[in-house]
């Protein structure tokens, strides 16, 4: 009885104190955050927002998923033109050039400075920071979800051909694929050749081999950059992929055909794929019972000095035309995301990697990378930090790059369907891509990239 | 005095028409006018400004081989899917109209496909026509490599045509059935008593009497196949492989919204609009002559 009485008394006291406390606080300032992740990842972002709102009383972030990256950018542009833009928006990596020329943002570094937050920008992994920074190194946006491409390999299958390690060079890959085929595997390696795979097949390959995608240091030095993938090592790479495809060593797997390559790998149908570290969790959750697999850095051609791979993902932009109170909230939000503890939460619940060294060290000291299912994801950090970024491996700063990726898909499909030769296809890719770049340049007369 | 009365009527007439005119202006002429203006300028996507370029957008589009490929693909798509959807619907409606066993069921069921949203329908067909899963996997087992919409442009085009026609068979079916049922029974019965068979009655009585419906559906189907194909293409092929299914309306979407090239997309939609207008004029000018309105 006494316990119940005491409990009731405590409840009453609690209720009273909340009733008294509420009027003492002002309503929190609300601001919008639009993002482009969906499904499981959207739920993680929602939790992140809840955690931020629970961590302090002054601001309340309202997080809304727009479905995907393309839609987020389109909807933000439409909202901006109508004067109803969100305060913070997630924009994917290749939208960076468009954002920089938009004149619609408030530089993130200035925002933090004005609101009294000290961010150590050298704490970001250089491979990540340089991708989003201006040519002078200013951070106009904050890196958020980041990943890079890795090679996933089936240890059981490779054991059958007497290999205990993943192939390090493309020459080895060629030999191993042949051996796997001879050992009775119907699909030694799976790829897809749509616009999305421009990332791992063209962009990551070029960075690791220190090969340019476009002139003017991949566009960092001017809007008059033009593509040049038709005369780099990339030509040899596509030629090899096509050769292996013709020999039945590579199969094309996509959702349209029935099974995408991640599923094909997880079910043990295909033994080797190249995809984002972000799929590490998916493979772990959906893999065939008892299958042994691991990840490794993307291979290079023999004799190549490996450079850092590129970051993929998105960064957070703060848009212009908002009130000071909203900017204060946005700054607090960005500061919250930068916290190493948030990095641990974020990487544990998604496949994304920490963007700052402090976050990475915090996670390492917590033993994050020591055991399954997270073991192996540190390879992504190794790949991103394989070298100090060069002028070319900083990233890609090209206008309307989404359309260039689409053109990549189109030409790869034409090449693999034997409609054109490898060189013809890549020449057309460059020709059509250049037309896109030229158009982008004409749209912004007299403007230069910051 | 007579003048004043006429004036009064004129204003009242205008007043009655104003709500409608406002709607048409707001939702049709204004956006269309805006599209014309955008097609003559280069728009910065974020609204930072624009420059007047005259007909440059049209020149660059019309000198692009990919665009002509897109026009050809659209014409092939329009002709084939309209033909398929109309012939199948006509046959189904004619059979249902004959009051065969179970025709009440067909009458209800055959209308359903039109009620399904394009993306949902495309998802279903993507599965049915997937070469490694679904129905076509069985066919591929028997003839390996027979069906490959992932790399074979003709197969991909066939997929979107099948999905689109399937939807419009339902739509056409309603109209055809209504047209058949509007034909007086006595005419058909009289013909039957004179000894003409099913085919003969169809050719000499029913078909000529439903030509207005056929003409109406022809115009609607062709127009819709240019405009309504977007959802199906987006889900099933995304315009690929190698641009084989990059129909005009899909290209407008991908250039405009994915590529943020609002001016180029505006110019393309003007061209699409002119093309549809021209096709409709041709149909009214040459095909309508053979239509017998009562």
**Residue of chain B with shortest Cα separation from A399:** B259
- Min Cα distance B222 → chain A (Å) is 27
The Cα–Cα gap between A394 and A220 comes to 9
A90 touches A34 (CB < 8 A): yes
Res. B10 pLDDT band, cuts 50 70 90 = confident
pLDDT value at A23 more than 60: no
- Please report residues of B whose CB lies closer than 8 A to that of A81: 46-47
**Residue of chain B with shortest Cα separation from A105:** B46
pLDDT at A16: 45
The Cα–Cα gap between B65 and B59 comes to 12
Same fold, A28-146+311-370 and A149-309+399-443: yes
CB contact under 8 A, B66 and A432: yes
Q: Any CB–CB contact under 8 A between A444 and chain B?
A: yes
The Cα–Cα gap between A197 and A279 comes to 14
- Please report residues of A whose CB lies closer than 8 A to that of B126: 255-256
The Cα–Cα gap between A405 and A433 comes to 9
Residue B54 belongs to a domain? no
Q: Any CB–CB contact under 8 A between A84 and chain B?
A: no
Handedness of CA A64, A70, A71, A73 (dihedral sign): positive
Torsion of CA A363, A365, A370, A374, to 10 degrees: -10
CATH superfamily of A28-146+311-370: Periplasmic binding protein-like II (3.40.190.10)
CA dist list (Å): A76 to A85, A101, A144: 6, 15, 18
Of residues B153, B172, B174, B162, the one with CA closest to residue B232:
B162
Residues B128 and B251 in one domain: yes
Tell me the sheet residues that pair with A91: A315
Interface test with A, best of B127, B132, B261 (most A CBs within 10 A): B132
- Mean pLDDT over A99-109 rounds to 92
The residue written with tokens 């595997």 in the block is A185
Out of A121-130, A321-330, A425-434, B69-78, least confident range:
A121-130
Residue A387 contacts by C-beta under 8 Å, 6 or more apart in sequence?
A305, A306, A307, A308, A393
The Cα–Cα gap between A337 and A359 comes to 10
pLDDT tens across B16-46, in order? Answer: 889 999 999 999 999 999 999 999 999 998 8
Considering only CB atoms, B259 lies closest to which of A256, A402, A442, namely: A402
Torsion of CA A355, A359, A360, A364, to 10 degrees: -160
Residue B170 belongs to a domain? yes
Residues B30 and B89 in one domain: no
CB contact under 8 A, B243 and A442: no
- Please report residues of B whose CB lies closer than 8 A to that of A417: 151-153, 241-242
pLDDT at A291: 95
The Cα–Cα gap between A245 and A422 comes to 13
CA dist list (Å): A93 to A98, A131, A275, A417, B162: 10, 8, 16, 30, 37
Considering only CB atoms, B134 lies closest to which of A194, A258, A442, namely: A258
Considering only CB atoms, B258 lies closest to which of A252, A403, A414, namely: A403
- Min Cα distance B228 → chain A (Å) is 20
**Residue of chain B with shortest Cα separation from A409:** B242
pLDDT value at A12 more than 60: no
**pTM for this structure?**
0.88
Considering only CB atoms, A400 lies closest to which of B53, B236, B259, namely: B259
Supply B282's token pair.
Answer: 């041709």
Residues B33 and B68 in one domain: no
Give the residue numbers spanning the domain of B29. Answer: 2-39
Residue B45 belongs to a domain? no
Average pLDDT, chain A: 90
CB contact under 8 A, A413 and B151: yes
Interface test with A, best of B238, B240, B245 (most A CBs within 10 A): B240
Of residues B29, B30, B36, the one with CA closest to residue B270:
B36
- Please report residues of B whose CB lies closer than 8 A to that of A255: 126
CB contact under 8 A, A402 and B45: no
**Which residues in A338-373 are b (16+ Cβ under 10 Å) and which e?**
bebebbbebbebbbbbbbbbbbbebbeeeebbeeee
**Which residues in B195-211 are b (16+ Cβ under 10 Å) and which e?**
ebeeeebbeebbeebbb
Considering only CB atoms, B240 lies closest to which of A73, A413, A436, namely: A413
- Please report residues of B whose CB lies closer than 8 A to that of A410: 240-243
- Please report residues of B whose CB lies closer than 8 A to that of A408: none
Interface test with B, best of A257, A429, A442, A444 (most B CBs within 10 A): A257
Residues B169 and B268 in one domain: yes
Domain boundaries, chain A: 28-146+311-370, 149-309+399-443
- Please report residues of B whose CB lies closer than 8 A to that of A419: 242
pLDDT value at A20 more than 50: no
Structural domains in chain B (count): 2
Interface test with A, best of B234, B235, B260 (most A CBs within 10 A): B260
Average pLDDT, chain B: 89
CA dist list (Å): B289 to A99, B276, B279: 56, 20, 15
Residues B16 and B116 in one domain: no
pLDDT value at A91 more than 90: yes
Res. B137 pLDDT band, cuts 50 70 90 = confident
Residue B49 belongs to a domain? no
CATH topology of domain A149-309+399-443: D-Maltodextrin-Binding Protein; domain 2 (3.40.190)
pLDDT at A296: 96
Give, as one character, the DSSP assignment of residue A309: P
Interface test with B, best of A258, A261, A446, A447 (most B CBs within 10 A): A258
Residue B48 belongs to a domain? no
- Mean pLDDT over B199-219 rounds to 91
Q: What is the DSSP string of A92-136?
A: EGGGHHHHHHH--EE-HHHHHHHTT----GGGB-HHHHHHHB-TT
Residues B151 and B111 in one domain: yes
Residues B80 and B156 in one domain: yes
Residue contacts between A and B (CB atoms, under 8 Å): 100
CA angle A134, A135, A140 (to 5 degrees): 10
Residues B121 and B16 in one domain: no
The Cα–Cα gap between B188 and B173 comes to 20
The residue written with tokens 């917590």 in the block is A366
- Min Cα distance A417 → chain B (Å) is 6
Query: Which of A14 and B183 is assigned the larger pLDDT?
Result: B183
- Min Cα distance A52 → chain B (Å) is 30
Q: How many CB atoms lie within 10 A of CB A450?
A: 12
Q: Any CB–CB contact under 8 A between A142 and chain B?
A: no
A429 touches A407 (CB < 8 A): yes
Residues B108 and B181 in one domain: yes
Tell me the sheet residues that pair with A273: A152
β pairing state of A29-35 and A88-92: parallel
Residue B72 contacts by C-beta under 8 Å, 6 or more apart in sequence?
none
A141 touches A397 (CB < 8 A): no
pLDDT at A230: 96
Residues B23 and B104 in one domain: no
Residues B28 and B118 in one domain: no
At B222 the three-state DSSP class reads: helix
Half-sphere exposure of B117 (CA within 13 A, CB side): 4
pLDDT value at A103 more than 90: no
Handedness of CA A252, A253, A255, A259 (dihedral sign): positive
Q: Which CATH number goes with the domain that contains B238?
A: 1.10.3720.10
β pairing state of A189-191 and A250-252: parallel
Res. A446 pLDDT band, cuts 50 70 90 = confident
Q: Any CB–CB contact under 8 A between A254 and chain B?
A: yes
A109 touches A119 (CB < 8 A): yes
Residues B76 and B196 in one domain: yes
Supply B126's token pair.
Answer: 């993507």
Q: How many CB atoms lie within 10 A of CB A201?
A: 22
């Amino acid at each position: 009885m006494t316990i119940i009485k005491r409990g009731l008394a405590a409840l009453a006291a609690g209720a009273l104190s909340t009733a008294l406390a509420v009027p003492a606080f002002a309503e929190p300032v609300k601001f919008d955050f639009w993002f482009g992740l969906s499904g499981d990842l959207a739920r993680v972002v929602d939790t992140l927002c809840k955690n931020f709102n629970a961590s302090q009383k002054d601001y309340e972030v309202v997080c809304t998923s727009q479905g995907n990256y393309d839609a987020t950018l389109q909807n933000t542009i439409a909202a901006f033109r109508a004067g109803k833009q969100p305060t913070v928006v997630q924009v994917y990596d290749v939208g960076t050039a468009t954002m920089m020329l938009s004149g619609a943002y408030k530089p993130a570094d200035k925002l933090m400075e004005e609101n009294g937050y000290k961010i150590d920008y050298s704490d970001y992994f250089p491979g990540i920071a340089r991708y989003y920074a201006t040519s002078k190194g200013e951070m106009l946006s904050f890196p958020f979800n980041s990943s890079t491409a890795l090679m996933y390999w089936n240890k059981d299958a490779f054991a059958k051909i007497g290999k205990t390690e993943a192939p390090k060079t493309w020459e080895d890959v060629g030999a191993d694929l042949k051996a796997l085929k001879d050992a009775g595997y119907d699909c030694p390696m799976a790829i897809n050749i749509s616009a999305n795979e421009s990332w791992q097949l063209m962009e990551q390959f070029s960075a690791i081999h220190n090969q340019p995608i476009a002139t003017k240091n991949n566009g960092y030095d001017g809007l008059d950059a033009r593509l040049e993938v038709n005369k780099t090592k990339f030509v040899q790479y596509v030629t090899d992929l096509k050769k292996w495809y013709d020999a039945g060593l590579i199969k094309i797997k996509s959702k349209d055909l029935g099974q995408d390559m991640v599923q094909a790998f997880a079910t043990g149908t295909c033994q080797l794929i190249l995809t984002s570290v972000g799929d590490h969790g998916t493979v772990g959750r959906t893999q065939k019972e008892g299958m042994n697999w691991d990840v490794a850095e993307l291979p290079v051609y023999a004799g190549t000095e490996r450079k850092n791979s590129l970051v993929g993902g998105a960064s957070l932009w703060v848009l212009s035309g908002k009130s000071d109170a909203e900017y204060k909230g946005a700054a607090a939000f960005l500061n919250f995301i930068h916290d190493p503890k948030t990095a641990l939460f974020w990487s544990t619940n998604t496949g994304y990697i920490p963007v700052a060294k402090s976050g990475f060290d915090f996670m390492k000291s917590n033993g994050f990378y020591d055991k399954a299912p997270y073991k192996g994801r540190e390879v992504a950090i190794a790949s991103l930090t394989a070298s100090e970024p060069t002028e070319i491996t900083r990233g890609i700063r090209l206008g309307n790059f989404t359309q260039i990726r689409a053109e990549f898909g189109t030409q790869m499909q034409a090449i693999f369907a034997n409609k054109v030769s490898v060189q013809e296809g890549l020449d057309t890719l460059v020709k059509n891509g250049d037309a896109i770049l030229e158009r982008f340049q004409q749209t912004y007369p007299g403007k230069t990239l910051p | 005095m007579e003048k004043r009365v006429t004036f009064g009527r004129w204003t009242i007439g205008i007043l009655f028409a104003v709500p409608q005119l406002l709607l048409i202006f707001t939702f049709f002429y204004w956006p269309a006018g805006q599209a014309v203006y955008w097609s003559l300028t280069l728009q910065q996507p974020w609204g930072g400004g624009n420059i007047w370029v005259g007909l440059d957008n049209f020149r660059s589009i019309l000198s692009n081989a990919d665009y002509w490929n897109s026009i050809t693909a659209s014409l092939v798509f329009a002709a084939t899917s309209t033909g398929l959807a109309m012939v199948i619907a006509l046959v189904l409606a004619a059979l249902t109209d004959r009051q065969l066993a179970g025709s009440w069921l067909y009458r209800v069921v055959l209308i359903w496909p039109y009620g399904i949203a394009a993306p949902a329908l495309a998802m279903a067909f993507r599965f049915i026509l997937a070469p490694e899963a679904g129905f076509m996997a069985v066919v591929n087992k028997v003839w390996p490599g027979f069906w490959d919409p992932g790399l074979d442009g003709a197969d991909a085009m066939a997929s979107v045509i099948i999905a689109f026609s399937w939807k419009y068979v339902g739509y056409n079916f309603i109209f055809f059935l209504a047209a058949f049922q509007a034909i007086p029974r006595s005419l058909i019965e009289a013909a039957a008593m004179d000894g003409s068979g099913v085919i003969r009655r169809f050719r000499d009585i029913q078909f000529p009497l439903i030509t207005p419906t056929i003409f109406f559906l022809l115009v609607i189907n062709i127009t819709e196949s240019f405009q309504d194909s977007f959802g199906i293409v987006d889900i099933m092929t995304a315009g690929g492989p190698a641009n084989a299914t990059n129909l005009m309306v899909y290209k407008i979407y991908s250039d405009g919204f994915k590529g943020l090239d609002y001016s180029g997309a505006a110019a393309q939609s003007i061209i699409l609009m002119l093309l549809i207008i021209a096709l409709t004029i041709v149909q009214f000018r040459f095909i309508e002559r053979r239509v017998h309105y009562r």
